[in-house]
Amino acid sequence: MGKIIAVEDAHAAALAAKMANVDVVAAYPITPQTHIVEELSRMVAEGELDAEYINVESEHSALSACIGASAVGARCFTATAGQGLALMHEILFIAAGNRFPIVMAIANRCLSPNINIWGDQSDIMSSRDCGWIQIFAENAQEIFDLILAAFKIAEDERVMLPVAVNFDGFYATHVVERMELPSEEEVRRFLPPHRRQTGYLLNPDKPLTFGAIGFPSIQFELRRQWEEALCRSKQVIKEVWREFEEVFGRRYEVVEGYRMEDAEAAFILMGGSAGTCRTAVDRLREKGCKVGMLKLRLFRPFPREEILEATGGLKTLIVVDKHICLGGLGGPLFNDLRSLYYGSKSSIDVVGFIAGIGGRDIRVEDFERMFERTIRGEIPPEKYVFLVRGEA
């Protein structure tokens, strides 16, 4: 049996890597992720975790070291945030394109300038086309559970792709929450020790070339193959989360609804703001508004069918993004959703709000105002709004 503990969310991430019995952790500290790798470093130093902890000189090296270790079959974990993820950018593609099942925690942080260590999603959204599976967690329990499940997803022979588990810098990482910590036996039942079955393992006796040159005559086909692998991983993700529920009793859906029964409008967002949004939905429901919330847990591969199903009865979808596609058309989730509905039979009205940039609070009242402005038809023709002083 597991036990109930109080844990800082960053340590929940470290505990998940520990209980997954990782072989290698290669990481570089960066706020607000530091507590994760600091804790893992302590676990290794004090003998609680039998793993190689590699102190590297940068995030570029952190992920490169994980790639090397993963190539010989090691179960690898790293964590980063903000600028660290940006420095990894080049290697993100190498890890995914060469199909290394690495798991990374990302404590989402605003990218500079100006120097800002607080939470928004500009780091991962600026790297969203890197071909990784991208999952968003809300709280300590989800962070622990989804990281644990991420190893099983990544290492599945049908997937063999790295997984990034995202959660809010500070709002999540530095908060102490209640969490159910499963027993070793339960974890082993769900996630057996790492035994990579794939033929693609570096071995001096059976040498292989990873990352060979891809001439124009072949690169496109390889990219298409990678895209297919990422899209197909959705079925495995759903399957692994169902197995997770069987063992631990907690259910995870790629898109999770809250008070969606009879809802005519709904918020849709990712990450920790879901908690605040639930309170706003409760308050609006008390006033008689038919509103709900959808929390998108899986961002890549984009769960289009599940979103269409979840939003089937809605008249209005209010998208809350914590990143601006600078010079583009609003936020990234807004863009994806507008594309999803364009040309479909759905007559849903999709409006976007960009909020919470650089760690700005998104308060319950902010969600209530977003709903009221949308319902009153105050959204400009381009359909998206910045919740910023001088406009909001």
Q: Which residues bind other proteins (CB under 8 A)?
A: 97-99, 160, 200, 207-210, 212, 214, 217-218, 220-222, 224-226, 228
> In this complex, which beta carbon is closest to other proteins, that of residue 226 or of residue 258?
226
Task: Report the residue number, 30 or 95, with the smaller CB distance to other proteins.
Answer: 95
Residue closer to other proteins (CB basis): 46 or 205? 205
CA angle, 329 as apex, 120 and 294 as ends, to 5°? Answer: 55
Nearer to other proteins, 176 or 218 (CB): 218
- Residue 205: Cβ within 10 Å count: 4
What whole-number distance in Å separates Cα of residue 112 and Cα of residue 127?
15
Selection from 293, 297, 289, 290 nearest residue 257 by Cα: 293
Q: Which is nearer to other proteins, 178 or 224 (CB)?
A: 224
> Tokens 């393992």 appear where?
201
**Min. distance of Cβ 211 from other proteins in angstroms?**
8
Task: Give least dist CB 161 to other proteins, A.
Answer: 10
In whole angstroms, the minimum distance from the beta carbon of 18 to other proteins comes to: 30
Helical ranges in 46-125 per DSSP H: 59-71, 82-97, 122-125
CB of 228 to other proteins, least distance (A): 8
CA 252 to chain centre: 13
Between residues 221 and 382, which has the closer beta carbon with respect to other proteins? 221
The CA distance from 389 to 161, in Å, is 41
Q: Which helix (H) or strand (E) holds 389?
A: none
- CB of 19 or CB of 95, closer to other proteins: 95
Give the Cα separation of 373 and 305 in Å (integer). Answer: 29
Q: How far is the CB of 64 from other proteins (least distance, A)?
A: 17
Q: What is the sign of the dihedral through the CA atoms of 15, 17, 21 and 27?
A: negative
Please count the residues of the chain. Answer: 392
Please report how close the Cβ of residue 247 comes to other proteins at its closest, in angstroms: 30
Query: Which tokens belong to 170?
Result: 């500070």
In angstroms, give the least distance from the CB of 100 to other proteins: 10
SS3 208: coil
- CA gap 66, 116 in Å, rounded: 27
CA distance 34 to 209: 34
Residue 327: exposed, middle, or buried by beta-carbon count in 10 A (0-12, 13-18, 19+)?
Answer: exposed
The span from the CA of 336 to the CA of 239, in Å, is: 24
Nearer to other proteins, 224 or 251 (CB): 224
* Shortest separation between residue 105's beta carbon and other proteins, angstroms: 25
* Residue 28 vs 100, nearer CB to other proteins: 100
Q: How far is the CB of 204 from other proteins (least distance, A)?
A: 11
Q: Coil, helix or strand for 320?
A: strand
Q: How far apart are CA 288 and CA 297, in angstroms?
A: 28
- Tell me which DSSP letter residue 290 carries: -
**Residue 367 is encoded by which pair of tokens?**
């969600």
